[in-house]
Amino acid sequence: MGVPAQQRFHEALDEGLGHRLETAMRACDDAARSVLAHIAQDISALHADLKALAPQEITAKRIPAAGEELEAVVAATESATHDIMQSAEGLLEASGAAEGAFAERVEAEATRIFEACTFQDITGQRIGKVIKTLKVIEDRLKASGIVRLAEVIGGDACEAEGADGADAPPLEGPALKEGDGLEQGDIDKLLNDLF
């Protein structure tokens, strides 16, 4: 005898269900692979962005250096203002023996110099605020874990990139500390060699 109709129906149903289940599983595998590939690309892009950000260099070198440069500006401004005010006081003392329009003019100009020198206090306060802001940024970067994450992900690669000096700002202005930058003798020798 042949296979009963009901059994054939169930076999056909099982075969169709198995085929559909296999197709669905393949589709799930393909979707999972696609999602994982996108996640891997995102991680790779994040790694590259974090490496380019170089948070170790920012918190260890650039922010502290910027703060030191600003503190040097405040100190130099303070020193120059002191010298200017001393000179203005000297003019007032020297004009003390004079009378008339000349004495009045020297006193008026010396007063203008004293008034103009108040810029130093204002700029010192404003630069002090900028230095505090830089410190807050540095502390928040360190506290955020970005620096540690970059160390873990990039190892020494981020530090090595900044170490070659390719990313360093150009040499401009006076050295911040004794021994930094070029010595005057080196500059004189360079100029003598050029001419």
The amino acid that residue 124 corresponds to is: G
Express each pLDDT in 130-185 by its tens digit: 999 998 988 888 887 777 777 776 654 444 444 444 444 444 566 666 666 666 77
User: Are 101 and 66 in a shared domain?
Assistant: yes
User: Are 45 and 132 in a shared domain?
Assistant: no
- For 44, 136, 151, 166, 168, the CA distances from 156, given in Å and listed in that order, are 17, 25, 7, 16, 18
What lies within 8 Å, CB to CB, of 68 at 6+ separation is 176
Q: What is the mean pLDDT of residues 92-107?
A: 86
State which residues form the domain around 157.
54-165
User: Are 46 and 67 in a shared domain?
Assistant: no
User: Are 25 and 112 in a shared domain?
Assistant: no
User: Are 21 and 71 in a shared domain?
Assistant: no
DSSP 10-72: HHHHHHHHHHHHHHHHHHHHHHHHHHHHHHHHHHHHHHHHHHHH-HHHIIIIIHHHHHHHHHH
| Residue 183 resides in a domain | no
User: Are 15 and 40 in a shared domain?
Assistant: yes
- The pTM is what? 0.53
User: Are 118 and 37 in a shared domain?
Assistant: no
Q: What is the mean pLDDT of residues 14-32?
A: 78
User: Are 42 and 80 in a shared domain?
Assistant: no
Q: What is the mean pLDDT of residues 2-17?
A: 68
pLDDT bucket at 89, cuts 50 / 70 / 90: very high
| Residue 145 resides in a domain | yes
User: Are 62 and 152 in a shared domain?
Assistant: yes
